[in-house]
Amino acid sequence: MAKRADGGRGEAGPAKRADGGRGQAGPAKRADARRNYERLLVAAGQAFAEHGADDVSLEEIARRAGVGIGTLYRHFPSRQALLEAVYADQVEGLEVLAGKLLTAESPGDAVAEWLHALVTFGRTKRSLSAALVEMIGRDSELLSACGATLRRCSTAVVQRAQDAGVVRADVQGTDLLRLTHGLILASDAGAGEAGQTERMLRLVIDGLLTGGSAEPAS
Amino acid sequence: MAKRADGGRGEAGPAKRADGGRGQAGPAKRADARRNYERLLVAAGQAFAEHGADDVSLEEIARRAGVGIGTLYRHFPSRQALLEAVYADQVEGLEVLAGKLLTAESPGDAVAEWLHALVTFGRTKRSLSAALVEMIGRDSELLSACGATLRRCSTAVVQRAQDAGVVRADVQGTDLLRLTHGLILASDAGAGEAGQTERMLRLVIDGLLTGGSAEPAS
DNA sequence: TAACTATACGGAGGATCCCTCCGTTTTGCA
DNA sequence: TGCAAAACGGAGGGATCCTCCGTATAGTTA
């Protein structure tokens, strides 16, 4: 537990937002730079999800991404920066997904899919959490901004399903965030076998649907 | 940010309680072993408090304690084990303090001193927290046992002050734990200058005292 | 299309760190 | 005093981190 990272006095600074590669300011990055940036983000996301954010060497991430270690460090000056970027990227991905779900055919299925996405995201986030805790307080603007985004998306998806009458009226968007959070904690505390969370998740979804509150399916 | 510790596949095991050196079972340790054990505990406690539990190399701790790295590893097979031992030791120290406070002259001052101790402890604990999080779920019996001890001590100290009529009756021992917890979070989130927590702490103490609830000192 | 330059790439290398292993030293006891 | 078990201590193998700088490439201009 609590592996990786040493070298110590690396300062790391406020991790200047890492800007990404997409848009915003800057003198426009070169094409290969943007490509490598994306590759690193993907590789890091996978690696973190598999081994935990603290048990992956940056050199392995660079290897997976097919770039040199120097390239990784140019894009992400510190492990923190990479962590933040992965986190922000995933939240952005969720935001995009929410956008699609808001125009999906079935608002009910949209909620289910949204929950699935939240759980998947939450699992990764949890593996990041130990490391993310470190940046709370220092750069918590990023975290709070991402939190706000998630709340907004979740509320919108739920709202639409409620308007369509398929989800109970007394459910709040933020409830989903809490539910998934608890669900993840529960499922990896209870030595859960695979599929365990899947079952619980379905249970939750059934509970959210209108009319499903009287008789729990035995 | 999430430094230290690597080497990877070190397993580390359930960190077999590290037993300490004082009493309990075992074929009685040799004098020098017990002495070095204590030195390491002290050195680790200081080092963790100064640089954070993840930013101190075990070799530095050994150096501070004036022992070889091998000795450190014999006493504490893993960083986790050392962390746990330091934590348990500090809780034990608090327990002893509480015992003394229960026979102190002024029950009111005792509460104040108890709060101070809790804050000091909490600060260290916070620096340990990132690492301790890792062991929650795996070996949470230690944590829950320590938590119970703290609650018990806190309740006793408060109770005595209430019996003496110097602390409001609607205060619970566990309130102090929550208060200090919140106070610490607040003080290192708000870029607090030194003395900031001191001020807040006095404020809290004033609030606990009987009769102090009417006019907040301007 | 060819030449040119700012930008990006890549990985060797120095500095730590972790943890094990084993020869040497110390302690407790007969 | 002599001895064996227990403890000490640090060298060394393996792995990471992060920097530095020569080389390759994308974009641009003639």
Cβ distance of B188 and A80 shorter than 8 Å: no
The residues facing B209 across adjacent strands are B167
Q: How far is the CA of A141 from the C1' of D30 (A)?
A: 49
pTM over 0.85: no
Q: What is the pLDDT of residues A112-121, one digit of tens each?
A: 999 999 988 8
pLDDT for the residue B188:
63
Domain boundaries B79-208, CATH class: mainly alpha
- Which residues have CB under 8 Å from B198's CB, separation 6+? none
pLDDT of A8? 36
Question: Which of 92-131 (B) contact A at CB < 8 A?
Answer: 129-131
CA-nearest residue to A139 within chain B is B189
Chain C nucleotides reached by a protein CB under 7 Å: 7-22, 26-28
Question: What burial class does residue B120 get, using C-beta atoms within 10 Å of its C-beta: 0-12 exposed, 13-18 middle, 19+ buried?
Answer: middle
Quick: pLDDT tens for B107-150. 999 999 999 999 888 877 776 766 666 665 555 678 888 889 99
B144 touches chain A (CB under 8 A): no
Nearest one of A94, A107, A60, A79 to A11, comparing CA atoms:
A79
Which tokens sit at B144?
């829950």
Residue A44 token pair = 């890091």
Which residue ranges make up each domain of chain A? 17-77, 79-208
- The DSSP call for residue A35 is H
A107 pLDDT higher than 90: yes
pLDDT tens digit sequence for B9-51: 333 333 333 344 444 556 788 999 999 999 999 999 999 988 8
pLDDT value of position A142: 80
Domain at A17-77, CATH class: mainly alpha
CB B54 within 8 Å of CB B99: no
Q: Mean pLDDT over residues A46-59, rounded?
A: 89
Tell me the CA distances in angstroms from B76 to A30, A149, A183, B2, B20, one per residue in order. 50, 44, 35, 21, 10
Residue A171 backbone dihedrals phi, psi, to 5 degrees: -100, 140
Q: Residue A105: pLDDT above 60?
A: yes
- Measured between alpha carbons, how far is A34 from B204 in angstroms, rounded to an integer? 53
Identify all chain B residues contacting A129, using CB atoms and an 8 Å cutoff: 133
- Name the residue among A129, A134, A137 with its Cβ closest to that of B189: A137
pLDDT at A109: 93
Q: How far is the CA of A36 from the C1' of D22 (A)?
A: 21
Class of B31-75 per CATH? Answer: mainly alpha
Q: Do B5 and A4 touch (CB under 8 A)?
A: yes
Chain mean position to CA A67: 24
Give the distance, in angstroms, between residue B17 CA and nucleotide C7 C1': 55
Q: Does B169 touch chain A (CB under 8 A)?
A: no
- Distance CA B182 to C1' D17 in A: 35
pLDDT classification of B167: cutoffs 50, 70, 90: very high
CB-based contacts of B28, cutoff 8 Å, min separation 6: none
